[in-house]
Amino acid sequence: MFQRIRAVLARRFVRHAALLQVGTVGAMLVQAVANIVIARQLGPDQFGRYAIAMSLAAVGSVLLGAGAADAMAPVVSRARHEDDERGLRDAFLFLGKFVLVSGLVVVVLGCLLPIVAERLYTDTAIGWFALSVLVASALSTLLFTPAQLGLQVFGRIGGLSALTFADQAIRQALVVGLVIAGFGVAGASAGHLVGAVVVVGVSAGAWHLLRSAAPALPTIPAFWVEHPTDGRRYIAPALWVLVDRNVAMLYGAAPVALAGMFLATADVSYVKVAFGWVTLALSVLGPVSVLLNTELARIQVQEPERLGWHFTRVTLAAVFASSIVTLGAAVVARPIFLLLYGADYLPAVPLVYWLMPFGALFGLGVALGPMWRALNRVRVSILINCLVLGAGIPLGMLAMSRWGALGAIAMVTGWYTVSHVASFVYLLRALKAER
C-alpha cells in the first residue's frame, strides 16, 4: 500500500498539483481572512453592499480576456513539447493583445455600472464601487495572465504558486488596511484598484525571470507592439473558450448580484458568507483543474487512448474529494462562524447545510473545462450553460421572491448540478464515439 502511495506521489502531475495547491489554497485563505475582517468591520448591512458590488463587478468582467489563457494553454503546451519557438512566441503575442483589447472593452462597458446599480438596487454608489473593482481586474490581467500561463507551461509551478498567492495577498492587504482605517466600502473598492497596480509590477518581474530561461518568449513591450505571424487562426478558438469560461463564471457571480434585487443587504451577506465558506473548502480542487488544461493536451498528443480513462478517473476522484471536504466544512461551520465572524453572522450557518448537495457534486466540474477544450467541443459547453442560465435565472428569481435566502441556495445548487451532469454525460458519450 505504501509503495502505491509513493508511486502516486512520484508522478509529475501529482507533484505539480500539490505544489500549486500551496499557492492556491494560501490565496484562498488570505481572501477568506480578509473577508472575515471586512465582514466584522462593516457589519451585515454594509458587508452586503460590498458583496453586491463585488458580484456586480464579476458579472461585468465576463468579457475580460483572462479566460483566453485557458484557450491558449493547449496551443502553448503543444508548441512547447514540439519545440516550436515561433508558434510559442505567436501564441503569447496574441494572448497579450487579446487581454489588452478585452480589458479596454470591459472598462468602457463598465462605465454603465452606476446606472445599472441605480436601476436594480436604487444605490448608485454600489455601481461606482463595482466599477473600481472592474478596472482593477482589467488592469491586473494585462501581465498576470501571460505570466501565469508561461510559468505553468514551462513547469515553473513553484513560481506560479507564488504568483497566485502574491496576487491575492497584495490586493487583500490593501483592502483590509483601508477598511480598518475607516474608509468603509469605498476604501475596500479602492484597495482593489491600488493592489492591481502593484500586481502588474510583480507580474512583470515574474515574466522577466521566465524570459531569462526562455528567450523565445516576447518582451513585455512586444506584447502590444509586435504582431503574431498569423494571429487570426487563434481568434475563433480564443473567443469560444472565452465565452465558455466566462459564461460559466456567471454561476458564481450572478447569484449574489441577483439576490441583491430580492433580499435585504443583511440577508445577502449571509448568502455570501455561506457560499464563500463552502467554495473556500472546495478550493483544494482548483489546482487540479488548472493543471489539466495542459495535462490533457499532453495526453491527447502522446497517449490519446488514455484520454477517456484519465478524464473519468480524475472526475470520480474529485467528486469523492468534494463530498468529504463539504461534509467537513458543514460540521465545523457553526463554531467557526461564531469564532471568526461573530454572532451577527450565525444566520448563515443553516445556509451552509443547505449547500451540501452543491458542494458534494462540485467535483463533477473539475475536468469539464479542460476536456471541452481538448475535444474542441467548447460550443456545446456554451450551449449547455446558456440553456441552464436561460431557464435558471428566471426560476431562481422566482425562488428568491418566494423563499428568500433559501431560494438563492436552491438556485445555485440547481445551476451547477444540471450543468455539470449534462456536460459530464455528453463528454463521456463523445469520448466513447471517438474510440
Number of Cβ within a 10 Å radius of residue 229: 11
Tell me the per-residue pLDDT of 287-315, one tens digit each, with 9 for 90 and over.
666 667 667 766 766 667 777 777 888 88
- Burial of 255 from C-beta contacts in 10 A (0-12 / 13-18 / 19+): buried
Measured from the Cβ of residue 350, the count of other Cβ atoms closer than 10 Å reads 16
Q: How confident is the model at residue 148 (pLDDT cuts 50, 70, 90)?
A: confident
Predicted local confidence at residue 353, as pLDDT: 94
pTM recorded for the entire structure: 0.77
Three-state secondary structure readout of the chain: CHHHHHHHHCCHHHHHHHHHHHHHHHHHHHHHHHHHHHHHHHHHHHHHHHHHHHHHHHHHHHHCHHHHHHHHHHHHHHHHHCCCHHHHHHHHHHHHHHHHHHHHHHHHHHCCHHHHHHHHHCCHHHHHHHHHHHHHHHHHHHHHHHHHHHHHHCCCHHHHHHHHHHHHHHHHHHHHHHHHHHHHHHHHHHHHHHHHHHHHHHHHHHHHHHHHHCCCCCCCCHHHHCCCCCCHHHHHHHHHHHHHHHHHHHHHHHHHHHHHHHCCHHHHHHHHHHHHHHHHHHHHHHHHHHHHHHHHHHHHHHCHHHHHHHHHHHHHHHHHHHHHHHHHHHHCHHHHHHHHCCHHHHHHHHHHHHCHHHHHHHHHHCCHHHHHHHCCCHHHHHHHHHHHHHHHHHHHHHHHHHHCHHHHHHHHHHHHHHHHHHHHHHHHHHHHHCC
pLDDT tens per residue across span 224-242: 788 777 767 777 666 777 7
Q: Crossing angle, helix 232-262 and helix 68-81, to 10 degrees?
A: 150
Q: Across residues 336-352, what is the average pLDDT?
A: 91
pLDDT at 187 over 90: yes
pLDDT reading at 352 higher than 90: yes
Q: How far is CA 77 from the centre of its chain?
A: 21
pLDDT at 19 over 80: no
pLDDT for residue 290:
62
Say if residues 374 and 297 touch (Cβ distance below 8 Å): yes
Question: What pLDDT does residue 231 have?
Answer: 65
User: Buried b vs exposed e over 376-400: b needs ≥16 C-beta within 10 Å?
Assistant: ebbebbbebbeebbeebbeebbebb
| pLDDT score for 1 | 39
Task: Label residue 191 by pLDDT band (50, 70, 90).
Answer: very high
Q: Which one has a higher pLDDT value, 258 or 227?
A: 258
Query: Of 110, 1, 123, 100, whose CA–CA distance to 51 is shortest?
Result: 123
Mean pLDDT of 353-369: 87
Looking at residue 15, its pLDDT comes to 60
pLDDT of residue 8: 43
- What integer pLDDT is reported at residue 144 of this predicted model? 87
- Between the CA of residue 139 and those of 191, 214, 242, what are the distances in Å? 13, 25, 18
Spell out the domain ranges in the chain.
2-433
* Mean pLDDT of all residues in 2-21: 53
- Between helices 333-340 and 265-282, what is the axis angle to 10°? 120
Q: Is residue 336 pLDDT above 50, yes or no? A: yes
